[in-house]
């Protein structure tokens, strides 16, 4: 069983449906016991970093997620959920993240040309920079769906894929059992489903 963390941020229906479509059992839950029992944990998120971090703390799940990740359980952050894996975000101020991967979240405006629109929204090609089991079935140049205005910076060691938007933006990261996608695998067609399938395999493998 996988646990999709429900901390009051965004709509998890599509995410749960995408796991159902690949035959995986993923429960939307805010129950610490269920999260501890799960083979893998998914940290979703949309909206503003500060609000999401506050809600995760408020839900009492901040420490649960951190502890499970540190114990070696596969964790997948998606979109803002990926950004929360980092130590710090500079989205409207300076905010503390989970600190599971070193790096910081910064505005894409810092690095992209002025003529590019913000947010970075739409289908963009993945440039695979490092082998990762998460991308076992992903090819160089495969397209995935992005919606974001901030990106993970100063994390070269953990980047496994980038997307070119006038500058290479961090598209996915991995540090051991902790993984994250800036894009939405649940909205990225068959490529996205193959990534979720790979995460399920990792979770099953870790549970055995």
Partner 1 sequence: MITKRIIPCLDVRDGRVVKGVNFEGLRDVSSPVSLAEYYSRCGADELVFYDITASAEGRRLFTDILTETARRVFIPLTVGGGINTVDDFDRVLKCGADKVSVNSGAIRNPDLVREAALRYGNQCVVLSADVKRVDGVLRVFAKGGRENTGMEAIGWIRRCVAAGAGEVVVNSIDTDGVKQGFDLEMLDAVCRAVDVPVIASGGAGKIDDFITLFQTLPRVDAGLAASIFHFGTVKISDLKEQMAAAGIPARQL
Check: CB of residue 42 under 8 Å from CB of residue 78.
yes
Q: How far is the CB of 146 from partner 1 (least distance, A)?
A: 8
Which lies closer to partner 1 via its Cβ, residue 14 or residue 63? 14
Which lies closer to partner 1 via its Cβ, residue 4 or residue 69? 4
Which lies closer to partner 1 via its Cβ, residue 47 or residue 176? 47
CA–CA separation, 161 and 181 (whole Å): 9
Half-sphere CA count of 59, side-chain side, radius 13 A: 20
Check: CB of residue 111 under 8 Å from CB of residue 127.
no
Residues lying near partner 1 in the complex (CB under 8 A): 11, 13-14, 17-18, 20-21, 46-48, 117-125, 143, 145-147, 164-165, 186-190, 192-193
Q: How far is the CB of 121 from partner 1 (least distance, A)?
A: 6
DSSP character at residue 160? E
Q: How far is the CB of 36 from partner 1 (least distance, A)?
A: 28
Residues marked as catalytic = 79, 184, 186
CA–CA separation, 108 and 143 (whole Å): 20
Which lies closer to partner 1 via its Cβ, residue 30 or residue 147? 147
Q: How far is the CB of 148 from partner 1 (least distance, A)?
A: 8
18 three-state secondary structure: helix
CA–CA separation, 69 and 115 (whole Å): 39
Check: CB of residue 147 under 8 Å from CB of residue 119.
yes
Half-sphere CA count of 103, side-chain side, radius 13 A: 25
């Amino acid at each position: 069983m996988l646990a999709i963390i429900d901390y009051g941020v965004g709509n998890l229906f599509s995410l749960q449906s995408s796991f159902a479509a690949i035959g995986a059992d993923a429960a939307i839950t805010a129950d610490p016991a269920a999260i501890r029992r799960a083979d893998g944990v998914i940290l979703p998120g949309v909206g503003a970093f500060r609000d999401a971090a506050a809600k995760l703390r408020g839900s009492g799940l901040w420490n649960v997620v951190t502890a499970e990740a540190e114990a070696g359980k596969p964790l997948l952050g998606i979109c803002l959920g990926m950004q929360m894996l980092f130590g710090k975000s500079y989205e409207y101020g300076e905010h503390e993240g989970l600190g599971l991967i070193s790096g910081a979240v910064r505005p894409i405006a810092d690095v992209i040309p002025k003529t590019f629109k913000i947010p970075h929204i739409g289908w963009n090609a993945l440039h695979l920079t490092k082998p990762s089991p998460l991308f076992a079935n992903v090819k160089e140049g495969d397209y995935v769906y992005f919606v974001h205005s901030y990106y993970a910076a100063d994390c070269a060691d953990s980047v496994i894929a980038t997307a070119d938007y006038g500058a290479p933006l961090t598209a996915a990261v991995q540090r051991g059992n902790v993984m994250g996608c800036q894009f939405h695998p649940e909205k990225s067609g068959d490529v996205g489903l193959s990534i979720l399938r790979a995460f399920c395999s990792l979770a099953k493998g870790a549970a055995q």
